[in-house]
Amino acid sequence: MPDIRKPLYGLLEKLGIAHTTHEHEAIFTVEQGAHIKASLPGGHTKNLFLKDKSGTLFLICALGETKIPVNQLHKVLDCKRLSFGKPDLMEDALGVTPGSVTFFAIMNDTENRVQLVLDQALLEHELVNFHPLENTGTIAFAADDMKTFASATGHDPVILDFAAI
């Protein structure tokens, strides 16, 4: 197991969150992973690291097919206009690099600098799939456990219905 994953698996075990890991080649986009996702059950995801003009950070976790209106999101989140966060800021705040942004990275935000935003559509799946802090694997776990994990890391997620925006 790669060192970057050890704290994640330790936390999942401590929280009693059942999970299955599927190893694969590095995937950098939703499209690149289509052939892998075809064989894995559950909701497949995309994750965006965003920053507003005042410096507030956001981790958006959504179904891969969800349309995320980044140019309208600030109105719903009651913040300033959003743009993509720089790679060095992402690594500092979430401990991951581009291509490896994942829901699980919220565990690295020990200073609570990042607001977690979850797509309501994720919660409609029994299982969801995210990278395990690097893009060479996928962890499948119960969607219901996302709130447990977020809470354990000190994050109260905002749940958004992106289809309604």
CB 106 within 8 A of CB 59: yes
CA-angle at 90, arms to 85 and 95, nearest 5°: 170
pLDDT tens digit sequence for 64-111: 999 999 999 999 999 999 999 999 999 999 999 999 999 999 999 999
Please report, for the chain, the start and end positions of each structural domain, with discontinuous segments joined by +.
Answer: 3-164
**pTM of structure:** 0.94
The length of the chain in residues reads 165
H or E stretch including 45?
strand 43-52
The domain defined by 3-164 folds into YbaK protein (3.90.960)
